[in-house]
Structure formats: structure tokens, C-alpha cells
Structure 1
Amino acid sequence: MKNNLPNNFVEGVTNSVQFNITQKLVDKFVELTGDSSSLHTDKDFGDKSMYDNKVVHGMLPLIFIAELEKLYPKEYSCIFKEISARFLKPIFLNDKLSLVSEISEINEKENQIRVEYILKKIGSESVLTTGYFKIKYKKTNGSKELLEKNIKKDSKKGLVLDSLKEETITFENIEKGDKKSFNFKVSEKDLLSTYNILLKNTNYDTWSGKNVSKNLIVSCLFSTFVGMCIPGRHATFTDFKINFENDVELNKKYKFLGKVSFKSSSTSIIVENISISQNNGERVIASGKINVKVNDPQIEMLSLESLKKEGLDLELKDKVVLITGASSGIGQTTAKLFSLYGTKVIINYFKGKDSAERIVKEIIKNKGDAIAIKADIRDIKQVKKMVNTACKKYGDIHILVNNAVKGFYPKSFTDLNWEDVQGEMDVTLKGTFNCCQEIIPLMLKNKSGKIINMLTVATESPPANQAKYVIAKSALIGLTRSLAVDLAPSNIQVNMVSPSIVKTNLTKHVSNIFLDRLKNETPMKRNATPVDVAKAIIFLSSSLAPYTTGQKIMVTGGNPPFL
């Protein structure tokens, strides 16, 4: 067989071209290929994508293979027989790129060469795309066939003959065997459009389109199929390979067909077999393969109308809350605040009967609903009776606030005995345990519930002479977190509210001098109030905290600890 290869072709010969990616360039590519996929043309879509910007078509820079002039001697015609690419990194508008090629193999028998190429970003030298192509050469007499001037009047725009609409197929909806097709034709105008993409001054009278291979142009339709057909909008084009059995001819109608041959659930990648043919598939011009990653659809945020339902309704109205130790202090304030949100309130007390009943009357007077129930929460029998009485009245208990505490009066460790510690543990820990054991079954039945346990910053920064109090509250942290883990699958949230010192009857022994000093040392320049704490409890009890469990809400005005 006669050697039709240029004499100066040797392995290792390199060639390069540099160019800038502009919006005008992208617009021309879209017009040529019909690939108007949202990732390339919609700024809002691009901004919300994983790339935080519109991405340039990966195939666009490959047209500049036609600008590697050393590969196209004047006395030779060339046919692209094989083209491949692996897209490693995205390309963006205004990127300055360098396409470098190297002849890696010379096949004199077939009159063709294999050329490896690398596309880099100038400046960072990041490798964006790699691949290879094979070109077959044939010696000519050097004459050029000029393009007709009347191509200016041709109404056809682009290669694709059909009207394509961007598909939005998700990975779950793609099946092996799925296929799509479209018809296309390469005209003289398409050759000229491609030449314009190469940013040269076109002379209609003298330019022949010699270096712009029709096969090279047709390979750009891989981008069209991926971006517009399967999968469409959610595609990330990863790599492709195409083999041409014949040269694509001008003004002939062809069919581009793609069929899903493989689907990987672990990587969300699909493989598509491609064929280009004439006469309904009787004459195959080219075949190839595409790998595409199918991205998850962009996450749409809730509409304002939906947020009204999700965010404005705290879902406290007609719920039932049981608050232990609610006849005074933080418990009393919390009971009243719940009632303002339409919650039915069960006020548990042990000694403060008059105060509890007075709170109930105040709530009812303000069109709320409440009852007071006496129970020593250290006694499981009394807790059972309290819960039964509450359920007879209201039918259920949705929220439990474990607020009861024995005392906060200081006592040095040397003066303590175990009975003192046990007494504190019996109320703080055992009382909470008993209430949880009786009420959690109701929440499990409802598959929802809120439990809020009252903590203190003293567990993080213990004050002097409060060992019994700190021991009991520290144990409550363990119970809270264990319950949070155990009950999370049942949509029951268990949390803690941890305030700094609050002026109530429980802390009335604390001197004003100490409270003033604490206020001045607090970044917000005030001490916590019962209302501050009650609001934190309301938050954790409401629909605003559906995904918060096992946590501490610190009500400290900016003081540590910071969690």
C-alpha cells in the first residue's frame, strides 16, 4: 500500500494552540450543536449547581483540534477516524486554555497517525481534558473547493434537524435499554459556523473549510445527546469515544441514536452506546460510547406559602404539656407562656397547692386551659395517678417539662452526707425517670413527643458548696442523652435547657452583690429571667426544633460555656 503520510510526521512531534473561552464562543457552539442544556446556558441553574457557575461545554474546546496546523499539510486531505476525550475538570467562561498535542503512533500501512492531546488552563496549568484522536491521510492535488456564497442566505441553523427540548430525566427514571435519537445534517454553513468558532476572520471568497473535518464537527453532537436527550439537564459528561467507519458527507441526512447499555447505582453513572447511520440504520457511519454521571436534581427551597405552614405554626395549640414543679419560679412562668400559645397545661406541684391553683385560675381567666395535680414525683405510684388523671382530662400528654428540683441552698462537702445527695438525686433524677417512664409510652403511641429537662450551667462551672446539686444535674445529662438516642427513631426529641442563675424563690439566698457582679460580667449586661428560660423551653417544644435532640440550649447572655 502506498504511503500517503507527510514525510515530516514522526513520533513525538508536538503542536499547540491557545484560545480564550468567551460568551460569544459559547453562543456559537449552542447554535451549531443545539446543546442549550441549562448547565451551560442558565446562570441561575449554574449558580445552584455543584460548580457554583455556568459550565462551558466540554466538547467546545475540542473543535480547536482543527487549529493544530502542523497536522494538516496543504497537499493532504484528512479524515478523523477515531476521537476520544476524558473530561477531568470543568471549564468556565473567560478561561484561557492551551491545547497541546503529540504524535504518539504512526501507522504507515493504514496511512494514519494517533495523536494524544491535553487541554490545560493557562496560569494554573490544571489539566482539564485528555484524550486522543486518529487521522487518516490522503494525498491530493492541492486544489481547494470553495464554499458557495449563497450559504449566507441558508435559513438552517445548526446541525440538528429536529426540534430538541431539554430532558430532565433523573437517575431513578433511567432504565437499561432506554434510547433516544435525532436527525442531523452537515451543511456548508455548519462548516463556516465551526470556522467562526475558531475566531478567525472568515473570507467567504477564499476559505474552503479544509481543516474543519465533518467528522470532528459531528463528534460535538455527543454533547447534544448528553445535554438534551439522556439524561439532559442533570448530566455531567465524563468521557466518550467514537469510531468512524466512513466519512460524513455534506448535505446528507443522518440519524444519531443513543441507547443506555449500563447503569451503576453506586456511582450514578450510565453508559450509552451511540450509532450514527443513514437509511434507518442500514448504513452505519460511526459508533461510540458515552459515560455520563447523572446528578441529583437541584434542591428547591420551600415556597413562602409552604413556609407559612412550616414556620409560623408552632404546633403548640391544643397540645398537652405536663410541667413538674410548676407552682413557682421558672415552672410557673413556663406554664403561663404555654397557655398563651393555646397549649393545655398540667401544673404539677408537691407543696404549693395555693400557688398552683392560683396559676390555673389566671390561665383560665385569660381563656386558657389548665389543671393542677399534686404528686410527689419521687413516688412512682403518685406519678402514675397524676398521668392517669391528666389523660382522663385531656386524653394525652405531648410535652413533658421536667423542672422540679429539691433545692439550691449551699452546703459544704464536709457537711454533706449521702442522704443529702440521695435526696437531691431522688427529685432531679428519679423524679424525671419516673415521669418519663409513664409518659414516654404515650409518646411512642403517637410517634412524636417533646421532653425538656431543666439543667444548669453549674454542671460546666460548679459553684462552691453545691456538690449535691451538681451531682444530680450531671446525672440528668446522661439520662437526657441516652433517652435522646433511644427515642429519636420514634420522632421524640429530648433536650435540656441550661440557664445561668435566675432570680426566683429557689435562689433568693443568693446575695444581690453577687447577682450585680454576675450581671456586669455578662456580655448582655443583665441576668437571665424566668421568661428567657421559658422561651427556650417553648422553642424546644415547638415545631421550630424538629431535628434537635440530645442538646443543651444555653441561656447565659453570652457567658461561657460555649457549646
Structure 2
Amino acid sequence: MQETVETFTVTSALVDGFARLTGDHNALHTDAEFARKSRFRQRVAHGMLAFARIGRLADAWPDRWLRFRTLEGRFTNPVPVGAALRLEVRATPQAGQLWTFEADWTSEVDGLTAITASGSFVLLPEAPPAVTAVEGRSCLLLEPVEEADHGADELAEARADLPFRITTGGLAALARLLGGDRPASASCCPNLAATMLLSTLVGMRLPGRRATFTDFRIAFEDDLPLDAPARLEGSVTKLSAASETLTAQARIACGGQELATGEVRSVINPRPRAMLSAAEIRERHLGHGLEGKVVVVIGASRGIGETAAKLFAMAGARVVVHYFRGRSDALAIAAEIAEAGGTALPLACDIREEAEIARFFAAVDSAFGGVDVLVNNAVMDFRPKPVSELRWADYLGELEVSLKGLHACCDAAVSRFKSRGGGKIINVSSVAVDQPVRGQSKYITAKSAVVGYTRSLAVELLKDNVQVNLVVPAMTETDLLASIPSDFIRRMAKARGMGRNLQPIEVAQAMLYLASCWSDAITGQQIVLNLGEPPFA
């Protein structure tokens, strides 16, 4: 057995030299900007460049002429430009002049295998002819090849022909790529030189620009003569658009005689994904996508709900201003919206009563033809009360609004969303769920239920294109705080890191974001308006 071990670095100069020799100027190897957007994120070397080092086997028999008969290679990991590789070759004698070999190329940095190979060669008894000067052209191709840019759907039964000639000048160029001290360029096997053109077949033609060469095999029935016109022919035999892989048959012919046959395989990489242009963003993605949409705001006659209704209307939505007891407030809010150029409809409903909810949404259908966004903002009250004084009826009273009424509204809206291809639900919780305060047990219990309900509903409605999310505000200055002494509220604001409490418009803005097309990829999540204090989302 003959064992050979060497290390070498794949330099940029070697990559450029291989491209000149073979005509394989595939952009993955030669264009840094193109390669940066590929799956490898950087320029990588031709796999065949490192594979060509198998020609250094001839160094072990300087008085014999090594000619390859079969060659197989598999490219398992990319070789970045500048990488150091370790090549181990194990050659075993067989009958007569025939030898077989196995080889592995591994990274000196991480030890990963980059290439595996096997094959056979013969050792002819005569010494290879010595060539002391480079003669003729060094590029193996007889004419330049333009890089194709085929997708998987364009390659069925595709063919490619590459006319070439193995000259002493080409062998000298290959010898320089292999390195070493031997000046005799003709000692490089012409069959190996022709095999290098499989890289050109894949990288420039089948499929071309978006190729990643994965493996090949080739068998020579006879040796390729020097200075004789030859052709490498390739034809696609198997194509998978789903896995984006290609298999092509390869054939080398010279003077009407078939000298070699084989097969190549490659991955057809997708085209780099085009990012939106600035003009497209300006035209299509700056707005919130709420123009003409129907937004139902439950609990809209005061505070956060009132502000949200106005904000939605000013964003172009048609708004339903829901109220329970605040009829005059709701009418005033709708009138103010109309005066400002918006559209609003005040509608009463006791969301604790399913029959009323049915009539409420029927009225929305009649007025606006359906609903696109539901904002559940209703709450019973925020009056503090010690747990010791609470009874089950107190909890039920809060849950009747915050959970039962919320669920009934969601149920009515979801059936309408499904018929319209999707929708949005925004529920409201409180930072007090994660940072409880004294005296608010029933309120926190109800809001905790809203958190669990929101998350589970989001999962239920994934396939229906309905997003369900939460807005979780800290203390917000609305009349819901009327039961808390004003001085206490001021002292709490002053004690915060930001020195203030939340304002209703800030909560409304979070609602508008979750209702807009900007949040289409978000569901089952929460926006915590915490003024920089715990809890953190």
C-alpha cells in the first residue's frame, strides 16, 4: 500500500488559476458579492480544485506514467477560499498494472470532511515525457462558455456540449495548481485534466450559476490523447424540482470514439431573494392597512376605549363605538369622529347577555357588512377591596364581563372573520397579573383568565388567519382610577423611573399596531407597556 499525506491551502490565486484553466467562472467561486448572498455566505473554492490534488499520486512513481481509469468524488462540505486542507490518500496494488485508491480531504480547522474520493489508475512502465516549457494555450476549452442561470423548472432534458483540447500548456497549468517541485507538466494525467471539466459542465451549464456540485463518477475506456479536439457532453437524466437536485449523464468523445462515461449531481440553489425596493415600501407598506376596515371597540365610551375608537377612525377605519350605560358619551364620541372626517357608529350592548350580543353584531353587519377587528376593552371596575371581604359573587361579577362577555364577543366575531378570510382580536390585560397589588384580587384574577384565554384562542385560530394578541398596560390615567386618591396616583407617577404614568393614547397606539397589517406575523403574544419597569415581556 502506498500512503500519501499532505496539507495545502486553497488560496484565491489557486481559485482564479483553476477558473482560467477550466473556464469554470461560476459566480459562487469568482464573485464575492454573489457568494455573500448564497447559502455559504462567502466565496468558496471549486470542489474539483481540491480534488485535482489527487494527481500528486504520480509523485510516488517518478519513473512511471500514471493514468487514471476511474474517478469518483463526493463534496460533503464547502471549502472557503483561504481554507487549509489535509489530504490523505491510500493506494493499493491490484492485478497487473492496476491500482485502486481512496482519499479524504479534511479541514485543518474543524476536522470536518470536505471531500471523499475513490478510483483506480494504471502505472505504465515508461516514464512520462518531460516538457520543459509551456506550449500552447493553457485553457482547456476551445471557446469561452457563458454562465447559464437555470432554475429547476428549466432543466428537464437539458443538454450541454463543451469542446476542449488537452494541451501541454494546459497540463503545465494543472501541474502548477498541484504544486510540488516536479517541472514535467506531461506527468499530469490528461484523463484527470479532462475530469476537471466536469466542474465547468456543472458550474457553467447544467445548471450553471446557481449550482453546488455534490458528486460525480467517471470511467475511462481509453486514454485521452494530447492535442486532439474532444467534447464533453452532458444531458440531464433526473430532475427534482421539490428537492432542487439534478443528475446528468456525462460523456467524453474524441475523433468519433467514446473515451469515457459518467454522471454528475448537483444542487440547484434558489435565486437570491429580492428585497423590497424603497419605492415598494413607500407605496405599499407605510400605511396600517386599516382604511375601510370595520373595527369594533368594546367598552369605547370612555378612557382607553374612547381614545382607541378615535385613533382607529383617524387611521381610516369604520368604528363601532360600543357602550353599556354611557349612551350620551358614545354619541358624543361618534359625533366628534364624524366632525373630524371619520366614520363611527355608537351601539349599545350588555355583553353579559348572549341575545344582546347577537343583536349587536347583526346591527354591525347591517351597517358595515361585517367586522375585521375586535378590541375587547370592557371591564367591570377597579375599586380596591381586600380579599377577606370578597365573595364568590364578586369574582363572578367581574368574570361575567372580563371573560364571559369577552368570549361571547370573540365567538360572534370569529364566525364573521372566517367568512372574510381572517381578522384580528386585541384583548386587554394588566401588568398587575405579573406584579400583583393589594386590593385588586378579583380584577387580577379576571385579567389572568384573559391572558390564558388569549393564548389558547390564538392557537385555535392559526389556520383561520385570525391573530389574537394582548395589550398589557401599566397604570393608565383614565377615570377607571377614580376610586384611587389623586395624590396617591401622582406619587406613584413620580416614583416611576420615567416619572409618569401611561396615557390612554399610548395604549391605543399599541392596539392600532396589533390591529394593523404590521402585526400580521404576531399572534398569542403581548405588548407590555411597562414604562421600563417589571414585568418584562
Indicate the TM-score class for this superposition, using the shorter chain for normalisation. Answer: over 0.9
Paired residues for 1:130-141 under 5 Å: 130-140=116-126
Which stretch shifts more, 65-74 or 77-86? 65-74
For residue 274 of structure 2, what is the aligned residue in structure 1?
300
For residue 55 of structure 2, what is the aligned residue in structure 1?
66
**What is the CA-CA distance between 1:359 and the residue it aligns to?**
1.5
Distance 1:145 1:423, change over 3 A: closer
Preserved CA contact (<8 Å) 2:130 2:187: no
Distance 1:347 1:115, change over 3 A: same
Q: Indicate whether 1:129 and 2:109 are aligned.
A: no
Paired residues for 1:538-549 under 5 Å: 538-549=512-523
Amino acid at match of 1:526: R
**What is the CA-CA distance between 1:337 and the residue it aligns to?**
1.1
Residue number among 72, 76, 80 corresponding to 1:84 in the alignment: 72
Preserved CA contact (<8 Å) 1:400 1:452: yes
Paired residues for 1:16-55 under 5 Å: 16-55=5-44
For residue 81 of structure 2, what is the aligned residue in structure 1?
93
Preserved CA contact (<8 Å) 1:16 1:68: no
Which stretch shifts more, 258-267 or 471-480? 258-267
1:370-409 CA distances to partner (integer Å, 9 max, x unpaired)? Answer: 1212222222232233323333333332211111111011
**What is the CA-CA distance between 1:213 and the residue it aligns to?**
1.3
TM-score by length of 2: 0.92
Residue number among 190, 193, 213 corresponding to 1:217 in the alignment: 193
**What is the CA-CA distance between 1:146 and the residue it aligns to?**
5.3
Amino acid at match of 1:117: A
Mapped to 1, the partners of 2:99 and 2:496 lie a distance apart of: 78
Q: Indicate whether 1:367 and 2:367 are aligned.
A: no
Amino acid at match of 1:317: E
For residue 168 of structure 1, what is the aligned residue in structure 2?
149
Mapped to 2, the partners of 1:308 and 1:201 lie a distance apart of: 62
Amino acid at match of 1:159: L
Mapped to 2, the partners of 1:410 and 1:473 lie a distance apart of: 15
Amino acid at match of 1:539: Y
**What is the CA-CA distance between 1:158 and the residue it aligns to?**
1.9
TM-score by length of 1: 0.88
Preserved CA contact (<8 Å) 1:118 1:127: yes
For residue 3 of structure 2, what is the aligned residue in structure 1?
14
Amino acid at match of 2:113: V
Q: Indicate whether 1:181 and 2:161 are aligned.
A: yes
Mapped to 1, the partners of 2:86 and 2:480 lie a distance apart of: 76
Paired residues for 1:406-555 under 5 Å: 406-512=380-486, 514-516=488-490, 518-519=492-493, 522-555=496-529
Mapped to 2, the partners of 1:272 and 1:35 lie a distance apart of: 17
**What is the CA-CA distance between 1:63 and the residue it aligns to?**
2.5
Mapped to 2, the partners of 1:417 and 1:371 lie a distance apart of: 38
**What is the CA-CA distance between 1:515 and the residue it aligns to?**
3.7
Mapped to 2, the partners of 1:289 and 1:412 lie a distance apart of: 81
Distance 1:124 1:550, change over 3 A: closer
1:467-505 CA distances to partner (integer Å, 9 max, x unpaired)? Answer: 221222222233323332232222221211111111211
Preserved CA contact (<8 Å) 1:453 1:497: yes
1:158 aligned counterpart, secondary structure: coil
Preserved CA contact (<8 Å) 2:171 2:186: no
Mapped to 1, the partners of 2:396 and 2:128 lie a distance apart of: 105
Mapped to 2, the partners of 1:142 and 1:192 lie a distance apart of: 13
For residue 317 of structure 1, what is the aligned residue in structure 2?
291
**What is the CA-CA distance between 1:256 and the residue it aligns to?**
1.4
Q: Indicate whether 1:403 and 2:377 are aligned.
A: yes
For residue 3 of structure 1, what is the aligned residue in structure 2?
none
Distance 1:311 1:83, change over 3 A: same
Distance 1:234 1:538, change over 3 A: same
Amino acid at match of 2:186: K
Paired residues for 1:130-279 under 5 Å: 130-140=116-126, 144=130, 151=136, 154=137, 158-175=139-156, 177-199=157-179, 208-263=184-239, 268-279=244-255
Give RMSD over aligned pairs: 2.5
Which stretch shifts more, 511-520 or 330-339? 511-520
Structure 1 alignment gaps of length 5 or more = 1-10
Mapped to 1, the partners of 2:313 and 2:106 lie a distance apart of: 67
Q: Indicate whether 1:334 and 2:308 are aligned.
A: yes
Amino acid at match of 1:283: Q
1:93-139 CA distances to partner (integer Å, 9 max, x unpaired)? Answer: 22233333232x21242x12223223233454443222134221222
Percent of aligned pairs with the same residue? 32
For residue 112 of structure 1, what is the aligned residue in structure 2?
98
Preserved CA contact (<8 Å) 1:17 1:64: no
Which stretch shifts more, 513-522 or 403-412? 513-522
Amino acid at match of 1:216: L
Preserved CA contact (<8 Å) 2:128 2:187: no
Preserved CA contact (<8 Å) 1:72 1:211: no
Distance 1:36 1:559, change over 3 A: same
**What is the CA-CA distance between 1:508 and the residue it aligns to?**
2.4
Distance 1:468 1:36, change over 3 A: same
Mapped to 2, the partners of 1:482 and 1:122 lie a distance apart of: 51
1:210 aligned counterpart, secondary structure: helix
Mapped to 2, the partners of 1:143 and 1:181 lie a distance apart of: 30
1:274-323 CA distances to partner (integer Å, 9 max, x unpaired)? Answer: 211135xx521111222323333332222222222442021112222111
1:355 aligned counterpart, secondary structure: helix
